[in-house]
A and B are shown apart, each in its own frame.
Chain A
Amino acid sequence: MTRDAASRRRWRDAPLALAMLAPSLIVLGAFVLYPLARAFWLGHQRCDPTGANCRSNGWDQYLDVFRSEEFQQAFGVTFRFAVLTVPVGLALGVGLAVLADKQLRGMGFFRTVFSSTVATSVAVASLMWFFLLNPSVGVLADWIGGVAKNPGLLQDEDTALWAVAISSIWANLGFTFIVVTAGLQSIPADLYESAYVDGASGWMRFTNVTLPMLGPTLLFAGVVLTSRAFQSYGEFDLLTGGGPNGSTTSLTYLVYGNNSIIKNNSGLQAAVAVLLFAVLLVLSLAQIRGVERRVHYGN
C-alpha cells in the first residue's frame, strides 16, 4: 500500500517537475537533442548540394563511412593529435601551476601570464603561430632552419601535425593552468607538513602528495582536453587547410573544411560527425570508468 501511495505521489509531482525542467529541456531539445537526432537521420542519406532531395542510402552507410579510407586517415590524424597534445599539455600545465603555487612577491604577474592564453581565441593563436612558423617571414623558421625553412614546418607532411599540435598546446595551456592551480589550492597544507616532518624530499612530496591529490583535477582536465583535441577545427583550418596531402585532415576538417572532398555532401558529413560523437562518447566513458577507480577523491 505505502509503496503504491509513494508511487502515486511521485506521478502527481510529474507535471510540476516537468514545468520546472521545461526551460532547460526546451533549450537542450532545440539546440542539442533535435540537431543530434537530425544529424543521425541525415547520416544514412544522400542529398543534393543544397541539402535537399534527400534519399536513403541505407544504414550501412555509417559502417562504410567508418571503414572508408578518408575516415580512417582522418581518425588516425585526430587520434595522433590528441596523443600529441593532451599529455604534453597536462604536464606543462601541472608544471607551471606548481611553479606558480608559491607565496612569493610578483607571483601574481606570472599567474596572469601563464593563464593569459585562456583569453586568446583559437583564431588569434593560430594566426600568431602561422606567422611565427612562416618559412619566409617567420622568426622561428630562421632560428630552426632546415625543414622549417623549406617548405616550412606547416607544409611538410612529417612535421605539419606536430606544428599544429604545438600551437594547440600553447593555446590550451591557460585553461589547464587555471584548473590545476585551483586543484592545488584545495590540497590541505597539513599533508605537506606531515610529509615534510617524515623527511620527504620536494620531489617525493610532489609525487606522493601533490599528484594523488590532484587526481580528480587531472581526470577532469584530461577528459576536457581530449574532447577538445578531437573537436579542434580552427587550428587546422587556419594553419594548414587540412594539408599537406591530408596529413592534418582531422575528423572535424573532413566534416567542415573547405578542402574536404565531402564538402556540399551533407549526408556523408553528418555520418562522419555522428561517428565522431560516438568515438568521443566511448572514449570519455572509458577514460572516466578506467581512471576513476584510481583517482583519490579524499576521505
Chain B
Amino acid sequence: MNRRRRPAAAGAVLGCLLLAACGSGKSILEAGNEPRPTAAPVTTLPGQTTVPGQTTVPTAPPTTEPRPIDSLPPCDMAALDEAAADGPVEILFWHGMSNELGRELERIVDQFNASQDRVEVSLEFQGGYEQTIDKYLQSDTDNRPDLVQMPEYTVQLMVDTQSNVPVQACMEDAGYDASRILPTALDAYATESIQWAMPFNVSNPVLYYNKKVFRDAGLDPEAPPLTLEQLGEYGRTIQATGAASYGVAFDSAPDGGGGWFLEQWLAKEGEFYSDNANGRSAPSTRVLFDGPTGVELLTGLQDILTTGGGVYVGENPSGTDAFLKLADASTPASMTISTSAALGSVLQFVEGGIIPGIGVEDLGVGPMPSPSGAPGTLIGGASLWITEGRGDAEAAASFEFISYLVSPEIQSEWAAATGYVPVNAGAVELDPLRAVYTGDPRFRVAYDQVAQTPDVPTSNGPVLGPLREVRVTAASAMAQIMNGAEPQAALTDAATLANALIADYNARRG
C-alpha cells in the first residue's frame, strides 16, 4: 500500500465504524445473545390476580427448600484454642468505613487487640463499600481477607460467590446466644434459612430538618412531618412564610433518594420490591416497583416539587449535596432525608461552626416520612462475612472478633459515636449509648424505626444479585420524574431494564 492510499484506508475504517454506528436500539445486556422468542400472550390462570399495567403476579409464590447447614463450609471454634496456644492468630479485616466512622472502628479494633492475646486483627480500609466489593469479587481466596464488611445490597451477590463460612455454622459450633441481636437485622442477612453474615452497622433513612426554620415558619419544631402529604404542606408553609427558600431537598442517588429510599418506601407501605417475596422465597425474576404503589408514591414526590414544597438537588454523587443545600447561604432548603449513619458526622460538621446561623441544637431528626406515615424501616448498613478456605483457626478467630463487635458494650460505644443503630438490644441499656439516647433523642430515631418495624415478610428487603445495578436504573427513573417526567412511563422503562439485569445475572450465574 503506498503512502497516499493510507489516509483513504483509515477513512474507510472510520466510515465503517460510523456506518455500524447506526445503533440497534437494543440494550448492551442483550449483546451476543440469541434473540429471545417473543413473549406468549399473557393468560390469567386460576389463583392469579391481574394488576393493571402489569403482567400477572402469582398469589402463592414458590418457596425455596431450606439449605442444610451441613452442605456449607463448617466452622470449628476449637481450632482457635489450639492455634492460639502458639501465639495470637492474625486475621485481616477489610472495611469500607470512611472518616469519623473509620476512626471509631480503628479505635475499637485497637481496643480488641489490647484486650486479649488470642486474636490479632489488622484493619484495612478499602476506600468505601464499592471498592471493597470490587476487590473482593476480583480476588481469589489467597488474596481475600479473613473477614470482610459488605453492604446490605450484596447479600445475594455474596451468597453466589460461594466463598464464605456462614456465621450460622460458627454460631452453632460456639453455642452463641443470638437472642439479643435484633431479629430484623439478623433476618436481613439470612436467606434459604441460613444466617450468612452478622449485621454490624445498621442504618436507615431519617428526616433531618432545621428547627430554627420550623419556628420561624410557625411550625412545631418538635413535630416533624410523618406523611408525604405533611412533608409537602410543611415545605409550602416554610416557603410561603419566607422562613427558608425551600422545604425538603430531594436527591436521586442510587444509595440514597433514588434507589435505596424507593425500597424503603415500598417496604413501609407493605409492598414487595421484587417478586417471590423480594427474592427470599425463590430467586426474583422481576421487580415490582412499577406497580400502582410505586407510581402513586412517585407522583406524590413529584407533587411536592411542583407545588413548591421542595427542591431537587440532583444525583448527589458525593452524598453531601442534599445536606449542603440546608447550609446554602442564599437559597437554603430546610429538610432532607438521609441515612442515620451521617448523624455523628453532620453534628461534628455543624459543631465546627462552618455554617453561619445553624447550631448543633437547631438540627432536628425525625422518622422517614412515607405515604401513609406507617412506622418501620428496612435494614440498611453492612454486615460481616467470614471468608472460606483461609484456615479453620482464622475462621474461628474471625467469629470471636465478630462476637466482640456485636457485644452490648462495643455496640453501645459504636452506636453512640456514629449514629448507627446498635444490633444488640443490650447496648441500649449500657452507657455511653444509654446516656446518648436519654440526653440526645435524635440518636434514638433510627433505633425506634427498627424497633417499630412490623414483623411481616415485606419488612425484609430485596435480595437480588444485581441489586446495586437495579438501584441505578431506579435512580435514573426517579431523577427523570423529579425533573418532570411522567411517573408510570419512567418507572416502566426502568423496570424493563431492571428485569433484563436480573435475567442477565441469573444466566451468568448459570
Q: Mark A residues whose CB is within 8 Å of B.
A: 44, 46-51, 53, 55, 57-58, 60-61, 63-72, 75, 130, 134-137, 142, 149-152, 154-157, 238-241, 243-246, 258-265, 268, 271-272, 278-279, 282-283, 285-286, 289-290
B95 within 8 A of A: no
Instruction: Please tell me if the beta carbons of A289 and B6 are within 8 angstroms of each other in the complex.
Output: yes
Q: Which residue of A lies closest to B320 (CB)?
A: A134
Instruction: Please tell me if the beta carbons of A67 and B10 are within 8 angstroms of each other in the complex.
Output: no
Q: Which residue of B lies closest to A137 (CB)?
A: B324
* B13 neighbours in A (Cβ, 8 Å): 282
Query: What is the bound-complex CA distance between A54 and B220, given in angstroms?
Result: 60
Apart from A69-B26, A243-B314, list 18 A-B contacts with CB within 8 A.
Answer: A48-B160, A48-B508, A49-B157, A49-B160, A50-B138, A53-B510, A57-B31, A57-B33, A65-B32, A66-B20, A239-B317, A241-B315, A243-B317, A244-B315, A258-B468, A263-B469, A289-B10, A290-B11
Instruction: Select one of B7, B33, B137, B321 contacting A49, CB under 8 A.
Output: B137
Q: Which residue of B lies closest to A246 (CB)?
A: B476
Known: A47-B508, A243-B479. A72 touches B21 (CB 8 A): yes
A-B contact count (CB 8 A): 177
- Would you list 7 pairs from A and B whose C-beta atoms are within 8 A, ordered by A residue? A49-B161, A64-B31, A68-B23, A155-B321, A240-B315, A282-B13, A282-B17
B504 within 8 A of A: yes
* Segment of B279-287, B327-335, B361-369, B372-380 engaged in the interface with chain A: B327-335
Instruction: Please tell me if the beta carbons of B31 and A271 are within 8 angstroms of each other in the complex.
Output: yes
Query: What is the bound-complex CA distance between A260 and B483, given in angstroms?
Result: 21
Instruction: Please tell me if the beta carbons of A289 and B23 are within 8 angstroms of each other in the complex.
Output: no
Residues 1-41 of chain B: 1 if any A CB is under 8 Å from the residue's CB, otherwise 0? Answer: 00000110011011001001111111111111100000000
Known: A259-B472, A261-B497, A271-B31. A151 touches B330 (CB 8 A): no
Query: What is the bound-complex CA distance between A33 and B272, given in angstroms?
Result: 49
Instruction: Please tell me if the beta carbons of B26 and A151 are within 8 angstroms of each other in the complex.
Output: no
B91 within 8 A of A: no
Instruction: Please tell me if the beta carbons of A286 and B7 are within 8 angstroms of each other in the complex.
Output: yes
Q: Which residue of A lies closest to B313 (CB)?
A: A151
Q: Which residue of B lies closest to A285 (CB)?
A: B10
- The 7 A-B pairs with the shortest beta carbon distances in the complex, nearest first, are A155-B314, A61-B32, A241-B317, A64-B31, A57-B32, A68-B28, A67-B24
B446 within 8 A of A: no
B131 CB, min distance to chain A CBs, angstroms: 9
Instruction: Please tell me if the beta carbons of A68 and B31 are within 8 angstroms of each other in the complex.
Output: yes
* B29 neighbours in A (Cβ, 8 Å): 261-262, 268
Instruction: Select one of B7, B473, B509 contacting A261, CB under 8 A.
Output: B473
Instruction: Please tell me if the beta carbons of B30 and A64 are within 8 angstroms of each other in the complex.
Output: yes
Instruction: Please tell me if the beta carbons of B468 and A263 are within 8 angstroms of each other in the complex.
Output: yes
Query: What is the bound-complex CA distance between A258 and B318, given in angstroms?
Result: 12
Query: What is the bound-complex CA distance between A69 and B329, given in angstroms?
Result: 41
A39 CB, min distance to chain B CBs, angstroms: 14
* B480 neighbours in A (Cβ, 8 Å): 245
B465 within 8 A of A: yes
B442 within 8 A of A: no
Instruction: Please tell me if the beta carbons of A265 and B161 are within 8 angstroms of each other in the complex.
Output: no
Instruction: Select one of A50, A65, A279 contacting B137, CB under 8 A.
Output: A50
Interface residues of B in 326-353 (CB under 8 A from A): 327-332
Query: What is the bound-complex CA distance between A150 and B245, given in angstroms?
Result: 12
Q: Which residue of B lies closest to A50 (CB)?
A: B137
Instruction: Please tell me if the beta carbons of A69 and B321 are within 8 angstroms of each other in the complex.
Output: no
* B192 neighbours in A (Cβ, 8 Å): none
* A282 neighbours in B (Cβ, 8 Å): 10, 13-14, 17
Instruction: Please tell me if the beta carbons of B327 and A137 are within 8 angstroms of each other in the complex.
Output: yes
Instruction: Select one of A51, A67, A264, A272 contacting B23, CB under 8 A.
Output: A67
Residues 440-469 of chain B: 1 if any A CB is under 8 Å from the residue's CB, otherwise 0? Answer: 000000000000000000000000011011
A147 CB, min distance to chain B CBs, angstroms: 11
Query: What is the bound-complex CA distance between A207 and B327, given in angstroms?
Result: 51
Instruction: Please tell me if the beta carbons of A286 and B14 are within 8 angstroms of each other in the complex.
Output: yes
Interface residues of B in 279-318 (CB under 8 A from A): 311-315, 317-318
Instruction: Please tell me if the beta carbons of B504 and A265 are within 8 angstroms of each other in the complex.
Output: yes
B236 within 8 A of A: no
Query: What is the bound-complex CA distance between A129 and B148, given in angstroms?
Result: 34
Query: What is the bound-complex CA distance between A50 and B28, given in angstroms?
Result: 19
Q: Which residue of B lies closest to A60 (CB)?
A: B32
Query: What is the bound-complex CA distance between A172 and B25, given in angstroms?
Result: 35
Instruction: Please tell me if the beta carbons of B315 and A243 are within 8 angstroms of each other in the complex.
Output: yes
* B324 neighbours in A (Cβ, 8 Å): 134, 136-137
Query: What is the bound-complex CA distance between A70 and B31, given in angstroms?
Result: 11
Q: Which residue of A lies closest to B323 (CB)?
A: A136
Known: A243-B314, A243-B317. A290 touches B28 (CB 8 A): no
B107 CB, min distance to chain A CBs, angstroms: 27
A3 CB, min distance to chain B CBs, angstroms: 24
Instruction: Please tell me if the beta carbons of A265 and B14 are within 8 angstroms of each other in the complex.
Output: no
Known: A51-B138, A69-B27, A259-B472. A244 touches B7 (CB 8 A): no
B325 within 8 A of A: yes
* A245 neighbours in B (Cβ, 8 Å): 476, 479-480, 483
B501 within 8 A of A: yes
B332 CB, min distance to chain A CBs, angstroms: 8
A48 CB, min distance to chain B CBs, angstroms: 5
Q: Which residue of A lies closest to B20 (CB)?
A: A66
Query: What is the bound-complex CA distance between A96 and B314, given in angstroms?
Result: 36
* A75 neighbours in B (Cβ, 8 Å): 21
* A290 neighbours in B (Cβ, 8 Å): 7, 10-11
* B311 neighbours in A (Cβ, 8 Å): 150-151
* B332 neighbours in A (Cβ, 8 Å): 136
Instruction: Please tell me if the beta carbons of A63 and B26 are within 8 angstroms of each other in the complex.
Output: no
Query: What is the bound-complex CA distance between A238 and B318, given in angstroms?
Result: 8
* A261 neighbours in B (Cβ, 8 Å): 28-29, 469, 472-473, 497, 501
Known: A261-B472, A279-B17. A244 touches B25 (CB 8 A): no
Instruction: Please tell me if the beta carbons of A244 and B32 are within 8 angstroms of each other in the complex.
Output: no
Query: What is the bound-complex CA distance between A10 and B293, given in angstroms?
Result: 78
Query: What is the bound-complex CA distance between A61 and B508, given in angstroms?
Result: 15
Query: What is the bound-complex CA distance between A151 and B328, given in angstroms?
Result: 12
Interface residues of B in 457-510 (CB under 8 A from A): 465-466, 468-469, 472-473, 475-476, 479-480, 483, 497, 501, 504-505, 507-510
* A60 neighbours in B (Cβ, 8 Å): 32
Instruction: Please tell me if the beta carbons of A58 and B137 are within 8 angstroms of each other in the complex.
Output: no
